[in-house]
Amino acid sequence: MSTHLHLDPIACEGHGVCADLFPEWIRLDDWGYPIIHPDPIPADRLAEARWAADNCPSLALRLHTRPPDR
C-alpha cells in the first residue's frame, strides 16, 4: 500500500494553491496547471499532502492509498 496524490484533470481549474502548499511534490506547468511528482508520498509528508488536497478550491486533488484505477 502506498499513498499518491491523484488529480482529476477535468475538475482542476489551475488555481495553483496546491503548488504553494506542497511545492516538494507539486509544481505548475507553463499554463499554471499542477504537475505532480509520481513517487508515493512518504509517511512524514502525508500531512502536507493532505493539506494541499483539502485546500483545492475545485476539489480536484485527492489522496489515494493505491494507484487510481484507470
Partner 1 sequence: MPGAGPARLLAELRAVPAPASSQEAVSFAEHRRRYPAPPGPRRNGDAPQIDLIDLIGRSGLSGRGGAAFPTGRKLDAVVHGRGPAVVIVNGAEGEPASGKDRLLLRRLPHLVIDGALLAAAAVGAERVVICIDRTSTAALASVRRAVAERAAAAAGAEPAVAIDVAATPPRYVAGESSALVQWLNNGPAKPTAAPPAPRQRGVAGRPTLVQNVETLAHLAQIARFGSEWFRQTGTPGEPGTTLLTVSGAVARPAVIETAIGTPIEHILASAGGLLGEPPALLIGGFFGTWVPTAAARHAPFSRAGLAPLGAQPGSGVVIALPEGACGLAETARIMAWFAAESAGQCGPCRYGLADLAAGAASLARPHDGPAAPSGQVARLRRWADQIDGRGACHHPDGAVNLLRSAMRVFADDLAHHEQGWPCRGASAPPALHVPAVHSAWR
For the bound state, the minimum distance from the C-beta of residue 47 to partner 1, rounded and expressed in Å, comes to: 26
Close Cβ partners of 16 (under 8 Å, ≥ 6 residues apart): 28, 32, 34
Which residue type does 13 have?
E
In the chain, the largest separation of any two C-alpha atoms, in whole Å, equals 33
Q: Which is nearer to partner 1, 35 or 47 (CB)?
A: 35
Among 23, 42, 57, 68, binds partner 1 (CB under 8 A): 68
Binding to partner 1 by CB under 8 A, coded x per residue (else -) over 7-46, reads -xxxxxxx--------------xxxxx-x-----------
Grid cell listed for 6: 491523484
